Amino acid sequence: MNPTRLFVGNLSYQTRENDLQDYFAQAGAVTSVNLMLDKITGKSRGFAFVEFADAEAAQRAIDQFHNQESQGRPLTINVSRPREDRPPRLGKQPRGTAWRTMRTALISSGRFRTDRTFSFTGFLNKGLTPAGSRLS
């Protein structure tokens, strides 16, 4: 754990990095502010990481600002922990062995069709082909 890096939670969604820089500068020299943003909307996710030049300034910030209101919300401030290892998400995995195994099982069950002539890939519904005619 890095005692100079703080997790700041329960931030207002209107909070910007320069707001945090100015607010936490009251406790000591701030070296960096990293406000977490939503990838799609670009809006704040409501938490940030603030890094101080020394551990004493970071501890002063915790003592001074934890549970204090900022922009109408009580802040949660802790020394940040290392990111926990999580298993990769299924949607993010490359189409490797697991995908090929699932695809083979679906094709053999007749629930998945790949027609390379038309580059069509899809699921069949109640025995209908994509054109709507019955399978023989």
Which residue segments constitute the domains of the chain, with CATH numbers given? 5-79 (3.30.70.330), 96-123 (no CATH)
Contact present, 98 and 89 (Cβ < 8 Å): no
pLDDT digits 0-9 by tens, 50-65 = 999 999 999 999 999 9
Amino acid letter for position 92: K
Contacts of 1 (CB under 8 A, 6+ apart): 79, 80, 81, 82
Q: Dump pLDDT digits (tens) for 100-122.
A: 777 777 777 766 666 555 444 55
Q: What is the pLDDT of residue 5?
A: 96
Share of the chain above pLDDT 90, in %: 51
Looking at residue 128, its pLDDT comes to: 52
**pLDDT greater at residue 116 or residue 34:** 34
